[in-house]
Amino acid sequence: MNERYSRKEMAKIWEEENKYKIWLSIEVAAAEAMEKLKLIPKGVTSTIKKRAKINVDRIHKIENQVHHDMIAFLSSITEKVGSEGKFLHNGMTSSDILDTCFNFQLVQASKILNKDIDEILQVLKYKSLKYKNTICIARSHGIHAEPTTFGFKLASFYEEFKRNKKRLESAIKEISTCAISGAVGTFANVDPRVEAYVAKKM
């Protein structure tokens, strides 16, 4: 993100540190599901949760050698986790993590925007009532028209932002999806129940 035009809380969502934390959360959730389904040994996820650490510099260093972001990430985590690391990403493909993470980041960002809209609505409601009797000239076809009130104008903006809020909330629902379905999305090597568990967990 362009540092000049982004707020800290929004920029933080798109930083690599946050991205890799989400990757790890998805991997851990998938491992938990596999553990519950007895596809991997019991206790693996608790060990991973205790030992796993995100080290962006280390991931970059490994990626420079292997030229693959997911392999670099998993290798970095396995260095901290130990032998249990081999159970991460079991049957999964990079897109399972990348796409799910991107959707998760979009939801995080949208929640900030939704909160902003709530604040705008509060201000517009207050100001439209405050200025409901403040006369101003309306415009039609780009020129002066009949008189109106400034409060009435703000009330129309209030209604518009209510619709914007509905659109944003609809978009959040639309993007709140995950795909943990393995190579080419066929579930050939991943139990569909793993995807359902991760979707619910995330």
Predicted pLDDT at 57: 97
Q: CA torsion sign, 6 to 68 to 200 to 45? A: negative
Predicted pLDDT at 144: 94
CA 191 and chain centroid, separation: 24
Ordered mean pLDDT values, 10 residues apiece, the chain (202 residues): 86 96 98 96 95 97 97 97 95 97 97 97 98 96 95 98 98 95 95 97 92
Predicted pLDDT at 166: 98
User: Three-state DSSP class for 134?
Assistant: coil
Please state, in angstroms and as integers, the Cα–Cα distance from residue 170 to each residue in 100, 154, 165, following that order: 18, 24, 8
Tokens coding 62: 């490994």
8 Å CB contact between 162 and 120? no
- Rounded to an integer, what distance in angstroms lies between the CA atom of residue 161 and that of residue 168? 10
Predicted pLDDT at 2: 77
8 Å CB contact between 109 and 22? no
Q: pTM of the predicted model, to two decimals? A: 0.90
Residue with tokens 């979707």: 199
Q: CA torsion sign, 83 to 96 to 71 to 184? A: positive
Closest residue by Cα to residue 30 from 185, 183, 179: 179
Predicted pLDDT at 114: 97
Predicted pLDDT at 5: 87
